[in-house]
Chain A
Amino acid sequence: MPDTHALVSDFLNKLKKRKIEGSKAAAKLTAELLRTVISQQRLPNTNQAAALIHAIKAIGEQLTAANPVELAVGNIVRRVLHIIREEDLSLTTASIGGLNLQALSDDEDNVDRDDQPVLSAAAVAAAARSTLRPPALQTLIEDVSHSAAIHHSSSSAGDSEEKTKSTDKNSRSRKLKHNVIETVNELIEDIATCHESIAEQAVEHIHHNEVILTLGSSGTVIEFLCAAKEKKRSFRVFVAEGAPRYQGHTLAKELVARGLQTTVITDSAVFAMISRVNMVIVGAHAVMANGGVIAPVGLNMVALAAQRHAVPFVVLAGIHKLCPLYPHNPEVLLNELKSPSELLDFGEFSDCMDFGTGTGSPLLQVVNPAFDYVPPKLVSLFITDTGGHNPSYMYRLIADYYSANDLVLQQRPTS
């Protein structure tokens, strides 16, 4: 216990100090931390799931409070809570009515992965809730998208393994914890491979001799573009440098290293260049439930330019970036103001900040927001690791991955 405590506080500290860069890293670390917490959590004999949910919620609250801007952390906490609920449900179902099912699975160890959960899920859905069971939808999606071959096989292997184990143990002791950890492992695996599963869809979207525009830098975008390049597509990339952090420069270097035709432009030249562009492909910080995007600053401008010239605006987002919240107040709640030193050199401007002269109030203010909000109507397509989606479809995906009970992690609602 003290061990997990130390781990949690360490992670909290890192979040607070803004030491974790990027939502993918944050998501991965959160999932790993929660896995450790779950495995070390002592559970009472009765109502294990509730105890586990309570413990995770308590930690989740702290984590989201430590860096409210990093939405991926909250997303993962909610995912894990959802996993616990689901596993609990399937276990209870199995123990209540699933004797015949159990016999079936006992007989045949290598049950078809898809069938069994669907069966049990259907039973549960009928019995317990009216909401659709996620595994069913997930299979649906996976069928629709022609992608995720590796992901599919790997997860299915894990799943079937887990299922056999779970059914084995079900019959003896209800090892909720074990199941949850297995599923969290899958989640971690998903996060780790999200780039690849998104990149696999690249060939479908990028065609020969096209011009792609992107802004700033995103790991997902690099992978996506390179995947298309590897498939012998020849195309040109315009990179808007992405002031004030100029990550576009690093992206350009990376792309050139991989042999892509690259053009670097300033952010302000986006509108001038957009008429030559066939498609805008960008990364995101978070995707909200309404299909709006929290993205690096400057992207709203790009999206507007794209809309003006009817250029498709495609957002790449790993599934951990899917946030079940609505952006009611994006400027205040979901943005972060960074240091002005990214814009100005302090030394050059220090005489403008001499408060001894004049009225004593600062005349110079530098605002350096990290994110933009791109409304859903400007987004043409989301590409997640489960395939391409329309912005209006996001709420469905979210209902799939999160349970409504977990949307509010805080005990007291945020103002």
Chain B
Amino acid sequence: MVAKKDAKQEVAVTAEDLAPVPIKAILLADSFTTKFRPITLECPKVLLPLVNTPMIDYTLAWLESADIEEVFVFCCSHSKQIISYLNSSNWLNQPHFSVKTIESHNCISAGDALRLIYERNVITGDFILVSGDTVSNMSLTQALHEHKERRRKDNFAVMTMVVKQSKPSQVTRQTRLGTDELFMAIDSTTKQLYYYEDKADEFKGSLTLDKSFLAENPSICLHNDVQDCYIDICSPEVLSLFTDNFDYQHLRRHFVKGLLLDDIMGYKIFTHEIRSDYAARVDNFRSYDSISKDIIQRWTYPLVPDVLLSMSTERNGIYRASEVSQSRSAEIGPFTCIGKGSSVGDNTIISNSIIGDGCKIGSDVSIDGCYIWRNVTIEDGCKLKHSILCDGVVVKSGAVLEPGAVLSYNVVVGKDLVVPCYSIVSLLPQPVKQDSDEELEYADNDNNNSIIPTINTVENGDLSNNWVSSEIGEGSRGFVWSVSEVDHEEEWRHSVAPIPASKIIELTQAAYEDLETVLQDDPLLPLPDEKESGSESDDDGRDESVYFEKEVEATFLRAVHENIKEDHIILEVNSLRLSYNMALENCASALFYSMMKLALDTPHSSAAELVKNTNNIVTRWGKLLKPYLQGIDDEIEVIMKFEEICMESGKEYAPLFVRILQLLYDSDIIQEEAVLNWAKEKEDADESDKVFVKQSEKFIQWLNEASEEED
């Protein structure tokens, strides 16, 4: 069997050596997401201008310079627009570079697209799989060579993923491209990929790996500083795998993870890390912003504006096309690109912005960090910050666009109107029902001349309703899209606007807290500002103990619901105690708190019932407290905790203080000595602190008497 296989491989090798298979590429001209809505309702994403050049041009130019001979452009939504664009450009008649289009209308995911391509049977050898929004200048030779070498040795190495080092932001836990933080486990010598998790955000910086996984692969390297470039070198098996697993939709979420988990077939994925080359994918508005700036800063050389569009370069990253008319008093700031035939009026200030062809910008306008596409008119006195303005937008005089605004095609913003942060305005009404399935891509809108959205996305029929909407003010045209609740929270994440300072502060705090917990997990790492909890800074200790309490409570509740044995809970609480570096009495009070809370949360109608509930819980779970109550001090701690509960979270307990104290005494959780000591301690306290001591005066007295009697 082995010999046979070898022979087969050898034949393949010789054949390959004799006639080098022309490397083909599949370019998915559809991202199958809705991140660029509403713009993508009218124009396919790959044709959106990125520094005044359609994205697909970057991808094709790169593929061409990487010596790819044949590219299959897979068009789905807006396929007519893409095909007519390719026809009008000269991509289709290059001498050594053939571009062919494959059209489909019913694909809703990358998986569908690849299945369709498999059916067409156009790919026979290794191929490059990219999407049409990739910007790169990497040389594929090395990666292809590595892939081929591996294939020669191991028939199961079906895919090589291109990755690039890129650190995620400390603050937002996402890369600068706005995608979620990515975790990858890569074998440092063979470069095999073992683990891929791109939804790492949910774990808040922690992730779980199977222990056996570590045991099997002793030399893996876990990365969170790599960026997936979404450039894959695939063997033809990949297509058939997609066909075999008809439920694979998403390239990463389903295919890559599926292959990594499935060890029956034994297919392997490898990575190729690029160092000096650039590769990134425009995934959302945030990455649109970052990549545009990278292009302006020439990381993508030679795919830079002065080469692609023969603009002239000036100092400070200013690019100017021919026939720009600019007023003498206008100030063009750094990192700005101005397209052909645009005009800029007096005293206008433009910085960090990209302005397309044929734009008219009036006087006294300030533009910062904006992406202005073709034929946009901005009248006098407007203020624009970090916005995207699509083709044909008109901003009337005095209007203000606040950061994050997106104006889709031909929207008109009325005079002196203020467009608030993160507004999305389009001439198309928002689909009434947002499809819950995130996988569904934007509308298959081929009749781009009409404004009627297709049926599957928009419950339209409101055509009689004039779309000259007054929704956004006098003289304006366009519908304001509202963002759903879930997205609302996240809108700053994927916008071109920088993250507001308040959010950053919020995130930094969260990040530090997370950092602390992470650091405490690992006693080898010295804490930058390690403090005994509560000794120096009460705030820190308090924060930690709050977290600890929450954890304990969660553990306890789970135990109650799942009826876990006490021993196990104690074990868990012990481990929590160690990880949070807490004392024994903290455990006791935390557990006690959880019990009380549970009692309080159990539905009850009267105080008596509450006492009964508490009694039940204390008798059932009281044993849990035992290991932590080793001395009188611990018990006093519990009483104090109870006092605190009565004062703060569980005011209902306040009148019942004595009864429950007695209950605790009866169930042997607290000894009389503790109560007496507690009362003694409290003697010197303020009047306000003595409320409960007074309440329990009788009980204490009784205890005193009892002890005396014993004596």
Candidates A353, A361, A365, A366; contact of B351 at CB < 8 Å: A361
Which of chain B's residues have a CB closer than 8 A to the CB of A331? 315
In B158-189, which residues have CB < 8 Å from any A CB?
A: 164-172, 175-176, 178
Contact flags B297-317 to A (C-beta < 8 A → 1, else 0): 111111010010010111111
Interface residue? B652 (CB, 8 A):
no
In A314-363, which residues have CB < 8 Å from any B CB?
A: 331-332, 337-342, 345-348, 350-351, 353-362
Contact flags B306-349 to A (C-beta < 8 A → 1, else 0): 01001011111100001000000000001100000000000000
Which of chain B's residues have a CB closer than 8 A to the CB of A65? 310
Interface residue? B497 (CB, 8 A):
yes
Segment at the B interface, from A13-21, A37-45, A91-99, A374-382: A13-21
Interface residue? B218 (CB, 8 A):
no
A345 to B315, CA, bound (A): 23
**How far is the CB of A341 from the nearest CB of chain B, in Å?**
4
A13 to B334, CA, bound (A): 30
In A287-313, which residues have CB < 8 Å from any B CB?
A: none
A355/B297 in contact, CB under 8 A: no
In B221-264, which residues have CB < 8 Å from any A CB?
A: 225, 227
A18 to B304, CA, bound (A): 11
Interface residue? A257 (CB, 8 A):
no
Which of chain A's residues have a CB closer than 8 A to the CB of B297? 340, 353, 362, 365-366
Candidates B172, B316, B369; contact of A357 at CB < 8 Å: B172
A366 to B294, CA, bound (A): 11
Candidates A9, A348, A353, A360; contact of B498 at CB < 8 Å: A360
Which of chain A's residues have a CB closer than 8 A to the CB of B277? 341
B293/A362 in contact, CB under 8 A: yes
A415/B293 in contact, CB under 8 A: no
Closest to B496 in A: A360
Candidates B278, B316, B386; contact of A360 at CB < 8 Å: B386
B317/A356 in contact, CB under 8 A: no
A355/B290 in contact, CB under 8 A: yes
Interface residue? B289 (CB, 8 A):
yes
A358 to B294, CA, bound (A): 17
B352/A337 in contact, CB under 8 A: no
A339/B386 in contact, CB under 8 A: no
Interface residue? B537 (CB, 8 A):
no
Which of chain B's residues have a CB closer than 8 A to the CB of A347? 164-167, 225, 275
Interface residue? B559 (CB, 8 A):
no
Interface residue? B142 (CB, 8 A):
no
Interface residue? A10 (CB, 8 A):
yes
Candidates B178, B276, B403; contact of A341 at CB < 8 Å: B276
Candidates A6, A17, A345, A365; contact of B276 at CB < 8 Å: A345
Instruction: Among B170, B176, B278, find the residue whose CB has the most chain A CB atoms closer than 10 A.
Output: B176
Total contacting residues, chain A, CB less than 8 A: 37
A350/B286 in contact, CB under 8 A: no
Which of chain A's residues have a CB closer than 8 A to the CB of B482? none
A415/B95 in contact, CB under 8 A: no
Closest to A331 in B: B315
Closest to B353 in A: A361
**How far is the CB of A360 from the nearest CB of chain B, in Å?**
4
Interface residue? B137 (CB, 8 A):
yes
Interface residue? B65 (CB, 8 A):
yes
B498/A356 in contact, CB under 8 A: yes
B276/A10 in contact, CB under 8 A: no
Interface residue? B47 (CB, 8 A):
no
A355/B301 in contact, CB under 8 A: no
B498/A6 in contact, CB under 8 A: no
Q: A339-B298, A340-B299, A360-B497 are in contact. Are A350 and B65 (CB under 8 A)?
A: no
Q: A339-B300, A347-B167, A359-B498 are in contact. Are A353 and B176 (CB under 8 A)?
A: yes
A341 to B164, CA, bound (A): 13
Q: A17-B65, A339-B298 are in contact. Are A357 and B498 (CB under 8 A)?
A: yes
B176/A350 in contact, CB under 8 A: yes
Interface residue? B654 (CB, 8 A):
no
Contact flags A1-29 to B (C-beta < 8 A → 1, else 0): 00000100110010011110000000000
Closest to A19 in B: B65
A358 to B170, CA, bound (A): 13
Q: A10-B95, A341-B278, A353-B176 are in contact. Are A362 and B167 (CB under 8 A)?
A: no
B residues lining the A interface (CB < 8 Å): 61, 64-65, 94-96, 137, 164-172, 175-176, 178, 225, 227, 275-278, 286, 289-290, 293-294, 297-302, 304, 307, 310, 312-317, 322, 334-335, 351-352, 368-369, 386, 403, 497-499, 504
**Other than the known A350-B227, A351-B170, A361-B352, what 5 A-B pairs have Cβ atoms closer than 8 Å?**
A10-B96, A16-B302, A346-B275, A355-B289, A365-B317
